Structure 1
Amino acid sequence: MSEVKKVLLAEDNSVLSLLLKFKLEKEGYQLFIAVNGKEAIEIVEAHSPDIILTDIMMPFVSGLEVISHVRYKLEIQTPIIVFSSAGQEEMVIKAFNLGATDFMSKPFSPNELSIRIKRLMR
């Protein structure tokens, strides 16, 4: 049997977090949820997730700072999918320049997210 894949979800919208938690746990992932970027960094350091899902705009530490910390301080190449509301093209470009692997514009389909996660964890 293969080992359970660990997913970090950094999202400050509790409704979206619950929806994704239900969807991803149903698919067999072990989910870690952070409500801000500071918690996200702590979870990355403590649990080494197999994939990171992060909103760009979060309290305390932004998703961009999470990406930067993972790529440059920890030097980890874990896939990172970034979420952002429409109209934040500049932030999305920054996210890719910092090392984001993929991007999804909010609102998005949980099914599409699931497909992207599977593709990146092959």
Structure 2
Amino acid sequence: MSEPKKILLAEDNSILSLLLKFKLEKAGYNLFIAENGKEAIEIIEQHNPEIILTDIMMPYISGLEIISHVRNKLSLMTPVIVFSSAGQEEMVLNAFNLGATDFMSKPFSPNELIIRIKRLIQ
């Protein structure tokens, strides 16, 4: 049997992180959680996850800076799904310009997220 796919979740909302941790681990993924952008970059560099899930608004280093780091500094093509609250269209467009793969507006369905993840890392 193959190893579970590694996912990085960069999310500073602990309730959302716990919900997604439960759902993603139940779906068979190995989840790393970063509570801020600085932790996220450390995890990416140490564990090279198959997919990155990040909120745009994060402490220390934003989700946009995480995307830029992954694409420009590390030259990785790892899929990145970005989360954002409503009303941040400009940031979402910036995320796509920086190399985000997909976007989900908060609040979102964890089941829909799992379907999107499966499509990106098959």
Measured against the shorter chain, the TM-score band is over 0.9
Q: What does 1:16-27 align with in structure 2 at a 5 Å threshold? A: 16-27=16-27
Equivalent position SS for 1:82: strand
Q: Percent identity?
A: 81
The reply on whether 1:15 has 2:22 as its aligned counterpart is no
* Whole-angstrom distance in 2 between the partners of 1:4 and 1:109: 22
Q: TM-score, normalised by structure 2?
A: 0.99
| TM-score when normalising by structure 1 | 0.99
Q: Counterpart in 1 of 2:41?
A: 41
Per-residue deviation, residues 27-78 of structure 1 (Å, max 9, x unmatched): 1100000000000000000000000000000100000000000000000000
Say whether residues 1:104 and 2:109 are aligned partners: no
Q: Distance in 1 between matches of 2:86 and 2:35?
A: 20
How far does residue 4 in structure 1 lie from its aligned partner after superposition?
A: 1.1
Q: Does 1:95 align with 2:95?
A: yes
Please identify runs of 4+ aligned residues in structure 1 that moved more than 2 A.
none
SS in 1 for 2:4: coil
Letter in 2 for 1:52: I
Structure 2 unaligned spans of 5+ = none
**1:3 to partner: Cα distance:** 2.0
RMSD of equivalent CA atoms: 0.4
- Tell whether 2:78 aligns with 1:78: yes
State the aligned residue count.
122
Q: For the residues of structure 2 that align with 1:33 and 1:104, how far apart are their CA atoms? A: 18
- What corresponds to 1:69 in structure 2? 69
Q: For structure 1, which runs of at least 5 residues remain unmatched after alignment?
A: none
